[in-house]
């Protein structure tokens, strides 16, 4: 059954990545202004945060199976409605609800992986889930771009939508409900949320999620511009993005994934953030094509160190009855990072290099995490084990 969840993650992220090369041109074809195009793109990430949080609370109250089936069905239907958008306003509304429904899926999938077998090592499981994201990041943009040119943009939306509807039906019948803990639950959900936000090693995961997607937002915006300024063919930016995705996916699936359960998650995440900072800094100054490939490969190494580590931190430092909320918050920071990265890039492109700003932000974040790593309160162990031991 775990392979079905891995496939679910691939499909969910293909839904997101396939739209990267087609949404802006689609909005432009419908007559959207530059400002409205930005809003159409950004509203997805904004409502995705809301969907992530709703998903987290629903998972902890009703279970994972229902939210997965519901999220897949609603998202599939919404994807099909893209074909009926005839104005920028209608496209904006569709994107609004797409982000909301899409936000239900990822926390549910990762909560299921975390709950599957408490005895398994989380790092390796999350490495395979990271490989699923990497595969989707390779397939998604290529599928969206190629299918748009050959069969039309409506086919892209409808085909993925139909696949999600089929998966919704399958998941309803074959996906078992994960048994929840019989531990006494705190009925004050606001108190639980505050505790999850304040929990030391969960903070590591949240900062990692924000920082990773902050850098991704900058990279997606600036790398094509960098390639254009250097006078290379526009297709090079896609090849460079694929380079980092291939490198990170290879690390996820090769024996190198044993690293995640041998080195403390917080350490691998901090090292990954430092590597991303160095990569963004280098991208500002490098002009040779060969060096661009090397730096994007290095970026892939950083990405590979961060993603499983921060996901495992959430799994190891939350119990079954609160894990949905923890992952909801976690992926809320994911979406917030995308928004912040894109907004910062748009505001400061003409004033200061977004690559340098991103490098500085990631360097500061990783440095702060490294400093706090030495504090007694932040020890890279299972939070719940420490908590139970202190209560004895």
pLDDT of the chain, 392 residues: tens digit per residue: 678 888 888 998 898 888 877 887 788 889 888 778 778 878 888 898 898 888 888 887 777 888 889 999 999 999 999 999 999 999 999 999 999 999 888 888 888 877 765 555 666 777 788 888 888 888 888 888 888 888 988 999 999 999 999 999 998 888 776 555 544 454 455 555 677 777 777 888 899 999 998 998 888 778 877 888 888 887 787 788 888 888 988 888 888 777 877 888 888 999 999 999 999 999 999 999 999 999 999 999 999 999 888 888 888 887 777 778 888 888 888 888 888 887 787 777 777 888 999 999 999 999 988 887 655 444 445 555 555 555 55
Residue 164, domain member (yes or no): yes
Does 16 share its domain with 81? yes
Q: What is the CA radius of gyration of the chain?
A: 20
CA distance 82 to 327: 28
Same domain for 224 and 369:
yes
Closest CA to 200 of 373, 24, 53: 373
Predicted structure pTM score? 0.78
In a domain, 24, yes or no: yes
| Domain stops at, among 153, 177, 201 | 177
Whether 370 and 287 map to the same domain: the answer is yes
Q: How many CA atoms lie within 13 A of 72 on its CB side?
A: 26
In a domain, residue 361? The reply is yes
Tell me the HSE value of 324 on the side-chain side, using a 13 A CA sphere.
26
- Whether 392 is covered by a domain: the verdict is no
Phi, psi of 199 (to 5 degrees): -65, 125
């Amino acid at each position: 059954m775990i392979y079905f969840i891995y496939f679910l993650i691939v499909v969910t992220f293909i839904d997101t990545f396939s739209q990267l090369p087609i949404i802006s041109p689609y909005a432009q074809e419908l007559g959207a202004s530059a400002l409205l195009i930005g809003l159409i793109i950004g509203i997805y990430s904004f409502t995705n945060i809301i969907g992530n949080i709703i998903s987290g609370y629903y998972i902890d109250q009703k279970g994972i199976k229902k939210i997965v089936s519901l999220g897949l069905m609603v998202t599939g239907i919404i994807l099909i409605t893209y074909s009926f958008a005839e104005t920028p306003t209608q496209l904006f509304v569709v994107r609004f609800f797409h982000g909301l429904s899409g936000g239900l899926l990822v926390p549910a999938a990762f909560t299921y992986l975390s709950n599957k077998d408490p005895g398994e090592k989380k790092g390796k499981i999350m490495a395979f889930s990271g490989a699923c994201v990497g595969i989707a990041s390779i397939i998604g943009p290529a599928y969206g771009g190629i299918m748009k040119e050959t069969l039309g943009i409506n086919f892209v939306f409808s085909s993925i939508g139909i696949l999600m509807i089929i998966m919704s039906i399958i998941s309803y019948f074959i996906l078992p409900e994960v048994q929840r803990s019989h531990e006494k639950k705190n009925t004050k959900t606001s108190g639980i949320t505050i505790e999850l936000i304040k929990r030391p090693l969960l903070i590591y995961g949240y900062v990692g999620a924000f920082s990773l997607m902050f850098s991704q937002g900058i990279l997606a915006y600036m790398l094509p511009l960098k390639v254009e300024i250097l006078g290379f063919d526009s297709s090079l930016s896609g090849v460079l993005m694929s380079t980092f995705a291939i490198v990170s996916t290879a690390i996820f699936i090769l024996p190198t994934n044993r690293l995640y359960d041998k080195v403390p998650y917080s350490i691998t995440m901090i090292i990954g953030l430092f590597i991303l900072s160095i990569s963004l800094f280098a991208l500002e100054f490098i002009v040779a094509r060969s060096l661009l490939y090397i730096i994007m490969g290095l970026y892939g190494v950083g990405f590979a160190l961060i993603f499983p580590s921060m996901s495992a931190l959430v799994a190891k430092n939350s119990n079954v009855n609160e894990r949905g909320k923890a992952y909801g918050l976690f992926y809320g920071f994911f979406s917030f990072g995308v928004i912040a990265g894109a907004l910062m890039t748009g505001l400061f492109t003409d004033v200061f290099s977004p690559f340098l700003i991103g490098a500085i932000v990631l360097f500061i974040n990783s440095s702060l995490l490294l400093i706090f790593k030495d504090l007694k309160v932040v020890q890279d162990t299972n939070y719940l084990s420490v908590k139970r031991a202190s209560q004895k």
